[in-house]
């Protein structure tokens, strides 16, 4: 099983792999740059080479790069829309340079223009991005909690975006357990998890599910509030998280935690909690 956490790229970007290996991860997620700013410095070729070497040495795969926070492909603001497309292309090219298998993207916010327009804006932008960038890495659409004016909290939203792509093979899905729970998908009960996976299979197809953001939820069921919690200490709970990580339909999926962290001890605690759940 592939299990890991989101790790920092502080220092040299290849140090993220050292941190992941030190934590006992065999998969990981990173930002390839500062996620809260627009300015981007070029990746150092030597650092990229070392990144690839350590990725192979430690057998850390898949490597997942997460989109920066400022990018919004669903926005009605034309200036931000064009800026987001340009930044997205730059970021997905960085993921390709790092030989990352997946590039996880939130679906953005329609900012009051309505879900229909937001979804349409996103799918058109992504179609343009994929045509221009021709990435080797696979773009994964991430499920959201549905807070504010965000899109992506229904499986139907993702389906419509994928159907709008000329290169559908370049797109997959990342399911966040905290997000879908807060969005109203009952993954806490055994029956609810089965219904959710059946619905996912019917609407999207489980073959598209490549990564699970394995997070407990501080927010209540169907609250549409995006708040992650430590494994087993949230509203989903330890028993339900155990059912998820051991579900036979999810055995080929990478599980990556984005749980709260103040120090490395938090990551170690969550890695240990998740590994204890795995049935031998």
What is the secondary structure of 24-74 as a DSSP string? T-SEEEE-SS-TT-S--PPPPHHHHHHHHHHHHHTT---EEEEPPSS--TT
pLDDT at 71: 96
Rg (CA), the chain: 18
The boundaries of the domain holding residue 260 are 3-277
The single residue listed with the structure tokens 């990981």 is 28
Task: Report which of 210, 201, 254, 236 is spatially closest to residue 59, judged by C-alpha positions.
Answer: 254
Please report, for residues 185, 240, 279, the alpha-carbon distance to residue 144 in angstroms, rounded to integers and kept in the order given: 11, 19, 28
Cα 277 to its chain centre, rounded Å, is 21
For residue 167, indicate whether it is catalytic.
no
For residue 258, indicate whether it is catalytic.
yes
pLDDT at 179: 98
End-to-end Cα, the chain, rounded Å: 10
Band (pLDDT 50/70/90 cuts) for residue 185 is very high
Please provide residue 171's backbone torsions phi and psi, each rounded to the nearest 5 degrees.
-125, 140
For residue 69, indicate whether it is catalytic.
yes
Band (pLDDT 50/70/90 cuts) for residue 68 is very high
Q: Which of 216, 226, 235, 267 is catalytic?
A: 226
CB-CB neighbours of 194 under 10 Å: 15
For residue 36, indicate whether it is catalytic.
yes
For residue 228, indicate whether it is catalytic.
yes
Band (pLDDT 50/70/90 cuts) for residue 107 is very high
Q: Which of 69, 116, 156, 239 is catalytic?
A: 69
Q: Which of 21, 121, 157, 179 is catalytic?
A: 179
Q: Which of 19, 213, 227, 243 is catalytic?
A: 213
What tens digit of pLDDT does each residue of 186-223 get?
Answer: 999 999 999 999 999 999 999 999 999 999 999 999 99
For residue 66, indicate whether it is catalytic.
yes
* CA–CA separation, 276 and 280 (whole Å): 10
Average pLDDT over residues 259-266: 93
What tens digit of pLDDT does each residue of 81-92 get?
Answer: 999 999 999 999
Domains identified in the chain, total number: 1
Q: Which of 91, 176, 235, 267 is catalytic?
A: 176
Q: Which is it for strands 228-229 and 254-257: parallel, antiparallel or unpaired?
A: unpaired
pLDDT at 254: 98
CATH code where residue 213 lies: 3.20.20.150
Q: Which of 21, 106, 110, 121 is catalytic?
A: 106
């Amino acid at each position: 099983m592939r299990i890991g956490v989101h790790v920092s790229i502080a220092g040299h970007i290849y140090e993220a792999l050292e941190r992941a290996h030190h934590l006992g991860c065999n998969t990981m997620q990173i930002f390839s740059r500062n996620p809260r700013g627009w300015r981007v410095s070029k990746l150092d070729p030597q650092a990229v080479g070392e990144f690839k070497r350590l990725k192979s040495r430690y057998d850390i795969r898949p490597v997942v790069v997460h989109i920066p926070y400022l990018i919004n492909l669903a926005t009605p603001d034309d200036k931000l829309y064009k800026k987001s497309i340009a930044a997205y292309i730059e970021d997905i090219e960085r993921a390709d340079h790092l030989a990352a298998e997946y590039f996880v993207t939130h679906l953005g916010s329609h900012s009051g223009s309505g879900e229909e327009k937001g979804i349409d804006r996103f799918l058109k932008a992504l179609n343009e991005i994929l045509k221009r960038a021709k990435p080797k890495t696979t773009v994964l659409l991430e499920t959201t909690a549905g807070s504010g004016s965000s899109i992506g909290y229904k499986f139907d939203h993702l389906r419509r975006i994928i159907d709008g792509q000329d290169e559908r093979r370049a797109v997959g899905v990342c399911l966040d357990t905290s997000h879908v729970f807060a969005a109203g998908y009952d993954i806490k009960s055994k029956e609810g998890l089965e219904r959710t996976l059946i619905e996912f299979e019917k609407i999207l197809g489980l073959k598209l599910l490549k990564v699970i953001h394995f997070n407990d939820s501080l927010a209540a069921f169907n609250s549409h509030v995006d708040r992650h919690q430590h494994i087993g200490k949230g509203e989903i709970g330890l028993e339900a998280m155990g059912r998820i990580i051991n579900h036979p339909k999810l055995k080929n999926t990478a599980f990556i935690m984005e749980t709260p962290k103040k120090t490395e001890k938090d990551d170690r605690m969550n890695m240990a909690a998740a590994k204890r759940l795995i049935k031998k």
